[in-house]
Each structure stands twice: as structure tokens, then as C-alpha cells.
Amino acid sequence: MTCTSNAQAYEWSGRWNTKFGEVVITKNRDAYTGFFSKGKLTEVREQEGVLIGRYSRLVRTFKKSSLGNKGEFRFILSADKTKFDGFHKSETDTKWGSENWNGKRVY
């Protein structure tokens, strides 16, 4: 059953459509990395099926966004692995944002 274990290990890898643009997540050995339109995901780890990490926007913009310039994120994968419920908190927020960062897998 090694094949099943490998498939589960890479279930986060891929392209995801979100309201903040496409998010691309890759896994190399035990480390996840990712990027999105004008930003990147860092310090990414999987903890009990939840992807947790930090994000930073690479381009400073005057356009108001609940993401801010950097912060934390938490993505919770659906049982069928086709979408995730996402939450974010910018560096200036004390609570998780009310505007979710949800995603749907791109095939």
C-alpha cells in the first residue's frame, strides 16, 4: 500500500482557484512551498491534514485587500480533496479574517 501513502502525501500539491488568484502548492520531500498572484507561501507545513503557514505579497499595492502585505494562513482540505476552506490573518489583525481564502482544485 505504499502507493496510497504517496498519493496522500501529495494531496495538497497542485493548482487551486481562489478569490485572491490562483494558488500553486508544491511539495519537495517534507517541505511545502507555494505562490499566488503577486505573493508567496512560506513556512508551510501540514498538521493533521491542515496546511498552515505564512504568506507575503511581493508587490506593494494601494488596492485594499483583507490579506494585507503579509500574515498567516490555514487551509483545511475537503474529504474529496477537490477544495479547501481557507482562513487568513494579516500581520496587523488579532483575529482570523472574516473574508475566507477558499480554493477549488484546478484540473
pTM given for the model = 0.83
As a whole-number percent, the residues of the chain with pLDDT over 70 amount to: 84
More confident residue, 70 or 30: 70
What grid cell was written down for 63? Answer: 488596492
Alpha-carbon distance of 77 to 53, in angstroms, equals: 14
Listed in sequence order, the residues at least 6 apart from 17 whose beta carbon sits closer than 8 Å to its beta carbon are: 103, 104, 106
- The set of cell numbers assigned to 66 is 483583507
E-assigned strand segments in 19-100? 23-28, 31-36, 39-47, 50-57, 70-77, 83-90
**Is the pLDDT confidence value at 72 over 90?**
yes
Q: What is the pLDDT of residue 61?
A: 60
Question: What's the mean pLDDT in 70-82?
Answer: 93
Nearest to 101 by CA among 90, 83, 86: 86
- Which carries the bigger pLDDT value, residue 30 or residue 19? 19
Q: Give the mean pLDDT of 63-86.
A: 87
> How high is the pLDDT of residue 40?
95
